[in-house]
Amino acid sequence: MSEIWTMHNFDLYSILCPTKLKNYFKTNGLTFKKGEVIYFPEDDEQKIYLVSKGKVKLCTYNQEGDEVVKLILTKGEIFGEKILLGQNTRDEYAIAEGDTTYLCLLSIDKMRNLMRDNERFGLFIYKLIGLRVKKIERRLEILVCKDAEERLLEFIKDLFDDKFEDDETIKHPYSQNDIAKLIGTSRETVSKQMSKYKKQGWIDYTRTSITLRNKAAFSEIL
């Protein structure tokens, strides 16, 4: 399934020229420190956000009060886009995850104008909405049905996704702590398993990339 865990290929800065971004987005937007809430569930502000710097996590809390992280977004990614589908209120928390996070703002009217003016951008937005729904559904299924190691393997597989057969290295924006939050485990577990896969000669892992060293062996366990 394409782009299940990340929309890192959806980078607004690579789609639109700087002039277009400046004309539509309020580039002197908002600044948040790590842990600050950007919006709460039931908030009704009709705005769409662009991450200019830092990270944002979208999350909910289960009945036990445990945080369930749905997405972690980085520079160039937008969120709050469900208002385009007629959603009147938010259904999640948006929380700054980077040490300092800068956001640009866009009203729903300007977003619709931008989608009309730029066909490629409009297609990406519709793709974004559909894939995010599938991504979250799959994440919830994996969290319920698989153990921590299986969830990590699924995470790695989904990062490669369509490129799995062709590319041996893929870029990613996630720290080990980010990965742990996304798959519902501890950072120590992620670190231990990544070290194990590296020792076995399956992968090389850095803060910015994952390289498959033994694609055949890794494919077998997936």
What is the DSSP code string of the chain?
-TTSS--TT--HHHHS-HHHHHHHSEEEEEEEETT-EEE-TT----EEEEEEES-EEEEEE-TTS-EEEEEEE-TT-EE-GGGGGT--S--SEEEE-SSEEEEEEEEHHHHHHHHHH-HHHHHHHHHHHHHHHHHHHHHHHHHHHS-HHHHHHHHHHHHHGGGGGT-SEEE----HHHHHHHHTS-HHHHHHHHHHHHHTTSEEE-SSEEEES-HHHHHHH-
pLDDT at 115: 84
Q: What is the pLDDT of residues 134-192, one digit of tens each?
A: 877 887 788 888 899 989 988 888 887 645 445 688 888 889 999 999 999 999 999 99
Mean pLDDT of 125-132: 81
- Please choose, from the candidates 157, 179, 170, 156, the residue with its C-alpha nearest in 3D space to the C-alpha of residue 209: 170
Q: Residue 40: what pLDDT?
A: 94
Note the pLDDT of residue 215: 72
Higher pLDDT, 34 or 167: 34
